[in-house]
Amino acid sequence: MMNALARLGRLGLDSLARLGRAHLLLFGILGGLPSVLLRPRLLIAQIYGIGVLSVLIIVVSGLFVGMVLGLQGYYVLAQFGAAESLGVMVAASLVRELGPVVTALLFAGRAGSALTAEIGLMKATEQLSALEMMAVDPIRRILAPRFLGGFISMPLLAAMFSAVGVLGGYFVGVGLLGVDDGAFWSQMEAKIDFEEDIVNGVVKSVVFGVVVTWIALYEGFDATPTSSGVSQATTRTVVHSALAVLGMDFVLTALMFGD
């Protein structure tokens, strides 16, 4: 009985301690951001690793998600004689939800896991300690550029995902299923609002980018410095990022489109 209570208490305290360390790390990273801007080379290398290398999977997924939305949406809308609204449906679901969320999930799998593994391995091979020995702050030199890289890359990737998805839906709807070309675009332009839909979608993707990068960096930095510790940290990055993205998406959607 007492043992069970003690275990529960330890679990709670451990979680709180982890949360606290994660926030301290975040403040450290934010404090290190100005020094990143003085060394743009580091940032460019990170945007390449995090953003450019993720473009292929983002574009391909966006295209297929858009095409599937086109097919499924047409099937439902045609039953109500509203096939012309296909453009609205595809664009609204992509820009509001699927673009930011699916991009964030892919981003966590493609870039987040790589960040955790890289930093965890740096810790396991004591490269981070070596940097500290040379009076180089690893948070500023290693973590801050990666954080900024994720912050910049994620909204751009989400925008690409949505844009390619709309084109995929256009290709299926207009090209294959015979929806009217003009109605597809004009209904879309009439119903999709710039501020309400597009800006909110970008805000979502920025938030997800920060959250996923933060989780990835923290898990790597906090990993047990063994090979199994790094592997566990990588798994945790993907799982926690996915859960955080889905949970925050619900909260953000309720705040943005709730009324």
Partner 1 sequence: MAKTRILEILVGTFMAAGFVALFFLAMQVSNLSASAAGDGYSLTARFDNIGSLKTRAPVSMAGVRVGRVESIQYDQDTYQAVVTMRIDEGYDRIPSDTFANIFTAGLLGEQYVGLDPGGSPDYLRDGEQIEHTQSALVLEQMIGQFLFSKAEEVSQ
- Could you say which of 29, 69, 95, 216 contacts partner 1 (CB under 8 A)? 95
CA dist 117 and 26 (Å) reads 18
Joined together, the tokens standing for residue 258 give 């709730």
> Which three-class secondary structure state does DSSP give residue 178?
coil
Smallest distance from the beta carbon of 155 to partner 1, in angstroms? 7
What's 222's DSSP letter?
T
Q: Is 91 in the site for partner 1 (CB under 8 A)?
A: yes
**Nearest Cα residue to 31 out of 147, 195, 112, 175:** 147
Joined together, the tokens standing for residue 80 give 């109500």
Q: Is 64 in the site for partner 1 (CB under 8 A)?
A: no
Joined together, the tokens standing for residue 94 give 């992509």
- The contact pattern for partner 1, residues 130-169, with x = CB under 8 A and - = no contact, is ----------------------xx-xxx-xx-xxx-x---
Q: Is 66 in the site for partner 1 (CB under 8 A)?
A: no
Smallest distance from the beta carbon of 238 to partner 1, in angstroms? 23
Nearer to partner 1, 90 or 216 (CB): 90
Q: Which stretch binds partner 1 (CB under 8 A): 131-139, 140-148, 192-200, 245-253?
A: 192-200
Contact 36, 43 (CB under 8 A): yes
Nearer to partner 1, 50 or 245 (CB): 50
- Could you say which of 143, 148, 174, 202 contacts partner 1 (CB under 8 A)? 202
Contact 210, 245 (CB under 8 A): no
Identify the H or E element spanning 124: helix 113-124
Smallest distance from the beta carbon of 55 to partner 1, in angstroms? 6
* Calculated CA dihedral for residues 198, 200, 205, 210, nearest 10 degrees: 150
The site for partner 1 (CB under 8 A) is made up of 41, 44-45, 47-48, 51-52, 55, 91, 95, 152-153, 155-157, 159-160, 162-164, 166, 185, 188-194, 197-198, 201-202
